[in-house]
Structure 1
């Protein structure tokens, strides 16, 4: 069955290469040299920030187990991370609108570097502190950088449609190529060079320090609401009012929570799904295949967003339905095919089908990220952008904490079935979002097709 992995990886590599090399002028948008320089600077920083995150991922659980902690202890550490992201991260992330997005990005670097340093200690309390710092950093990673980018892009007077180019390329690099390279480099440090499981965290700290230096010397500050009278509670009120008064923002938050909650649940469940009887599967190689699938998705999203039609609100309905069907595969294969009973064997036929489905799901993830970023840039008000984005993460973190706490309480098929239902719900809400957005669009607005704007004349 090893040949099966190589075939899947090879096919995905070929498809990604063909998509990237076959771009025509219709798939490209004419931009300015100033925008290209701005975009490349952001992509370098974002890639370094994501590298700092991806370097740690493969070895967090392994490091804790090497320190002698059991599954229950490790589970509590993970819950602390998501809980911290929900509580402290929401507060710190919301301060970005008031105190500055550039400062928040630097705070992300400092928090994550300190979290990496705590990994040198085998003491549970120190590791718990590291998870809390990591949770704060995670909230900043998924709010402060995007908020800074959108505000700076608009402040410099670039075409709003060009944001899609930065979003899609950021996901292609940061969530695809950088993830693969980071995983391989972490594996090199630990297994080939024998530096131990702490080495990837040290490498992550170095990468984050480099990124922080670039931010400090090349980024300017921008803010949300400039009002001096608004404190943190005032920011929360502004964000809550915006969500309650605008159905589009509320729908966007619900869609994001449903999809990301299913995605994080998938991260916990794909290993036992593919090896229910401890089948011998190449975890690192499968992870790289998933990331390659995500690159494929971001490449597809880049092409979709380079054209006026189909609109993001339209094609994302299909993406959510496909995602729901792929996460339903473990339920279907368990009923129709069953799983192998021989321990230590290679992946089963049902597992192979699931792997192909999981790769499709990861491609949907690659489409989701730049697409949700574009919708957020359109619908979320600038004065409370970071605050609202962190509000969106509250139900997500609650959901993930509940899943982590009860991961052994339900059969894996029930968990996947639940995720599939959530994704179908996301598709329904996405349909509603499209209807609301179209109904509120003024009739006088010019066409948003690139290069086809009609001049507004009397």
Structure 2
């Protein structure tokens, strides 16, 4: 393996370690033992869940070879291989993955509404059961059974990205913890679940399949075991909370109320648009980073690069924890810069294609332009690490509690549509066009973030005056 990869990986690791060890009182928030116990319990469950099912990065994807992406940290490298071992071709495997995203799009708002009405703890346990069933289907070579597994996986994804966060925010508020303490849980969850656990899970999956020679189904069996452990923790230590548990409000009414909330509150609508634009760009990047780094089939260490990306994401989440700890710094402000930086970082493939003469030599090691792009991609991954805890923080501020899970799944509808379109047409456009599209999306996200900040600033005095009037009325016993 070339020295360059080690230098990038080692440099990022050193920076992450330095940032974590150099935190001072300004970078930390004083909390209570009760909160720390609550936080650690949630982080344990979240890490187990995200280590198994996170649609964030593909491990080994190459559109030219037909590898379709999945973000399961423990299973990702083996899904396509498993399907191909069962004798299915590129088109059939593509349909399976599109079914997963389509399932998440179609059933997401329904399961989100059920989570708000029937209970978030119950929805989290349902996620575990649904995904365990999806893992079990991987033992069957029958196409229909595998299709059912992908549909179940799509439903589970909707629950993962709504029910857990909704439960956390509601339970945090119910227990009377400080609102700012939420940012600690958010940043730690991304640092551990989307970073450290991702790396460990990838190594563990490789150990099961390659070292122990247990076959490509082994990671799915391991995932089912860890999901069962997570579900046991949820059922034994979590209490139930709801959004709107009114008996006279049916599912359709709740669904309509969430849509009205998005349409009537510009802050919520802007937040949803920003999330869709960034995540759409992120998933497109997942599909494209391999061909961008090896346009002439250069030999690149996919697994090592994946681990490097995860270190960059950990760097971003570590920086986010510092920024969120400062009450004087608003998340709406610095996220404008994050989106601009991410937009520029995804322009590098276009810039290098214009400034650097492309090599026509097949194979070999990574090119000079590939090295530059890798640094840019690491920058983008750092922005991803900043994005997740920051968007979680904004969602906790702006999304109404009674329909939190429903609205969060509303946000994922345009995202899933976009991913399905990209999957279906991944070979239809040049790679530079795809990266240019992502860069434009991120630039638009920065503009919308600016608009959100302006609206939020305008509403703050009004909100504060209402609190003052309420406090004055209470003091006068009115």
Structure 1, gaps ≥5 residues long: 447-455
Q: 2:299 matched to 1:299?
A: no
Once residues 238 and 412 of structure 1 are traced to their aligned partners in structure 2, the CA distance between those partners, rounded to angstroms, is 41
Aligned residue in 2 for 1:51: 51
Shift of 1:122: 1.5
Aligned residue in 1 for 2:63: none
Once residues 304 and 425 of structure 2 are traced to their aligned partners in structure 1, the CA distance between those partners, rounded to angstroms, is 28
Q: 2:45 matched to 1:26?
A: no
SS of corresponding position for 2:464: coil
Residues 350 and 436 in structure 2, CA contact (< 8 A), matched pair in contact too: yes
Instruction: Encode CA deviations 1:301-344: one digit per residue, 9 max, x unaligned.
Output: 00000002331000000000011111111111112114332222
Aligned residue in 1 for 2:145: 126
Aligned residue in 2 for 1:404: 423
Residues 314 and 431 in structure 1, CA contact (< 8 A), matched pair in contact too: yes
Once residues 412 and 75 of structure 1 are traced to their aligned partners in structure 2, the CA distance between those partners, rounded to angstroms, is 19
| Alignment match of 2:104 (pick from 67, 81, 85) | 85
SS of corresponding position for 2:140: coil
Shift of 1:457: 9.4
Q: 2:238 matched to 1:238?
A: no
Aligned residue in 1 for 2:186: 167
Residues 47 and 170 in structure 1, CA contact (< 8 A), matched pair in contact too: yes
| Alignment match of 2:174 (pick from 150, 155, 170) | 155
Once residues 293 and 183 of structure 2 are traced to their aligned partners in structure 1, the CA distance between those partners, rounded to angstroms, is 35
Aligned residue in 2 for 1:323: 342
Shift of 1:60: 1.4
Q: 2:407 matched to 1:382?
A: no
Q: 2:122 matched to 1:103?
A: yes
Once residues 122 and 162 of structure 1 are traced to their aligned partners in structure 2, the CA distance between those partners, rounded to angstroms, is 47
SS of corresponding position for 2:113: helix
| Length, aligned pairs only | 449
Instruction: Encode CA deviations 1:268-304: one digit per residue, 9 max, x unaligned.
Output: 1111111112111000000000011000000000000
Residues 276 and 339 in structure 1, CA contact (< 8 A), matched pair in contact too: no
SS of corresponding position for 1:345: coil
Aligned residue in 2 for 1:289: 308
Aligned residue in 1 for 2:376: 357
Residues 113 and 254 in structure 2, CA contact (< 8 A), matched pair in contact too: yes
Aligned residue in 2 for 1:69: 88
TM-score for the superposition, normalised by structure 1? 0.96
Aligned residue in 2 for 1:428: 447
Aligned residue in 1 for 2:220: 201
Once residues 338 and 193 of structure 1 are traced to their aligned partners in structure 2, the CA distance between those partners, rounded to angstroms, is 44
Aligned residue in 2 for 1:278: 297
Structure 2, gaps ≥5 residues long: 54-72, 466-473
Residues 190 and 199 in structure 1, CA contact (< 8 A), matched pair in contact too: yes
Once residues 338 and 134 of structure 1 are traced to their aligned partners in structure 2, the CA distance between those partners, rounded to angstroms, is 43
Shift of 1:89: 2.6
TM-score for the superposition, normalised by structure 2? 0.92
Shift of 1:74: 1.4
Instruction: Encode CA deviations 1:7-63: one digit per residue, 9 max, x unaligned.
Output: 000000000000000011111111111000000000000001111222122221222
SS of corresponding position for 1:190: helix
Once residues 237 and 338 of structure 1 are traced to their aligned partners in structure 2, the CA distance between those partners, rounded to angstroms, is 55
Once residues 383 and 335 of structure 1 are traced to their aligned partners in structure 2, the CA distance between those partners, rounded to angstroms, is 51
> Taking structure 1 as reference, are residues 315 and 98 closer, same or farther at Cα in structure 2, changes over 3 Å only?
same
Q: 2:59 matched to 1:40?
A: no
Once residues 33 and 462 of structure 2 are traced to their aligned partners in structure 1, the CA distance between those partners, rounded to angstroms, is 33
Aligned residue in 1 for 2:197: 178
Shift of 1:365: 0.2
Aligned residue in 2 for 1:12: 12
Once residues 113 and 338 of structure 1 are traced to their aligned partners in structure 2, the CA distance between those partners, rounded to angstroms, is 49
Residues 248 and 379 in structure 1, CA contact (< 8 A), matched pair in contact too: yes
Runs of 4+ in 1 over 4 A off after TM superposition: none
Instruction: Encode CA deviations 1:178-203: one digit per residue, 9 max, x unaligned.
Output: 00000011111111111111111111
Shift of 1:444: 7.2
Once residues 283 and 62 of structure 1 are traced to their aligned partners in structure 2, the CA distance between those partners, rounded to angstroms, is 15
Shift of 1:94: 2.0
Shift of 1:431: 0.2
- Of 3-12 and 54-63, more deviation after overlay is shown by 54-63
